[in-house]
Structure 1
């Protein structure tokens, strides 16, 4: 860990602000660096992140104190909604830069696994619906509230999923829907969208403890502007642009 990273470990009673805008249900949560939950707010249904994010942050913090008590801003940086991720990451970078505090980017899929609860164990696949038959997939082991990454996050087609989920593995996420799971390998499917930001607070607190113990700090910790969204595929708009360019090249 660099000297600057060590200097940026906040006191246990400082706050972590967690931003979750990677899916349709946006939310924010507030907790301490030591892992104590303070409060959360859920956005209105639908993709209203750009309209509600900053006013809700001001409201949540104002109910419990002031921005001076923030020690870290954490954000679900993807995979997920292209627009939602950009909104959340941009807000986290701005807050981190303005207050001179670390910005911590978290995996949306790992946040989803933490949302299963501390009592849950075993191997789980977190699957997000990326629309158009695409899925974002990550496979993890969960034990005593700790996550081990088994396979790197990747983009897959929905028809590939049954062959990638092994016997006894649980699956969670919006990407579980409309999958033809074989009768020979029934899965413990929990169909839901991204859990609220409260789940991300747990992961953020664990990451801070790891950084304090010497784990290299991720981009954004020493410099919020280094925090970047994580996409597993190009956007639909980019696909259309590339297709048009290819067609023009053939004409």
Structure 2
């Protein structure tokens, strides 16, 4: 089985072609560029480099969010369109899980996070299940960072809590203030999601029968876009017409 994997859900653009037990090619950039312009060129380059024809793909894995609204939509829309045209499954993988997989084999809690503004973060908690996968300890959520740290601090014992993610610089001091020495921080090289991890997760889920039809995949935003929230609030305040 061979899978194309895509992540455009945040600042990072990452694309990979993987097969069972092997990463054939991967490209990851961390520049503030336009994913909608660069994604298809990156896919074309990796498909050419690996001599992969579209009909050789068994499925497409994609980061389904949370993250940037626009970024998530770009990746999910591209993955669904290609999977539908090729009549192959598409497998959505959590953007947070993709970051957490950089810590496979680590002890204690693994806590990836993305900044969501106004003191909030998108986050979840995972544990490494051996060196092949992570399992969710706490579900994805949008939460105030101080409330999240308070909840994590209630975990029994004194195990370390490994924080990961490109936005750690914005929250490092606040996390350290709340959790002290229990909080440890991943090095910069481990904070970026890798499409190779998404591809390997997609391969595993394909083998386990968890892949879905392209029409079934929906982005995971965890909150409404600001414009949509304002529209709903304004219309909720308007009296209904007779």
Q: Any idea what the Cα deviations from partners look like across 1:48-98, whole Å, max 9, x if unmatched?
A: 110011121112102222212111101000111111111111111111111
Corresponding position of 2:134 = 147
Distance 1:121 1:206 in 2: 23
Question: What is the deviation of 1:162?
Answer: 2.2
Shift of 1:169: 1.7
Correspondence 1:47-62 to 2 at 5 A: 47-62=33-48
Rounded to whole Å, the distance in 2 between the matches of 1:71 and 1:208 is 9
Residue in 2 aligned with 1:204? 202
Separation in structure 2 between the aligned mates of residue 175 and residue 56 of structure 1, nearest angstrom: 25
* Unaligned segments of structure 1, at least 5 residues: 1-13, 212-216
Aligned match of 1:195: 193
Q: CA RMSD in A?
A: 2.2
Seen in structure 2, the aligned counterparts of structure 1 residues 107 and 204 have a Cα distance that, compared at 3 Å, is: same
- Match in the other structure for 2:113: 127
Structure 2 match to 1:81 = 68
Q: Secondary structure at the match of 1:46?
A: coil
TM-score, normalised on structure 1?
0.81
CA distance change for structure 1 residues 229 and 200 in 2, over 3 Å: closer, same or farther?
A: same
In 2, Cα distance between equivalents of 1:24 and 1:208: 27
Report the alpha carbon displacement of residue 203 of structure 1 after superposing the two structures with TM.
Answer: 1.8
The 2-side partners of 1:243 and 1:56 are apart by 40
In the other structure, the counterpart of 1:28 is: 15
Q: 1:31: Cα distance to partner?
A: 0.6
| 1:202-241 correspondence to structure 2 within 5 Å | 202-211=200-209, 217-218=210-211, 221=212, 223-241=213-231
Counting matched residue pairs gives 226
154, 169, 172: which one pairs with 2:161? 169
**Pair 1:102-2:102 in alignment:** no
Q: Which residue of 1 aligns with 2:100?
A: 113
TM-score when normalising by structure 2: 0.84
- Asked if the contact 2:149/2:179 (under 8 Å) is kept, the reply is no
1:135 Cα deviation (Å)?
A: 0.5
Q: Which runs of 5+ in 2 are unaligned?
A: none
Quick check: 2:60–2:202 contact (8 Å CA) kept in 1? no
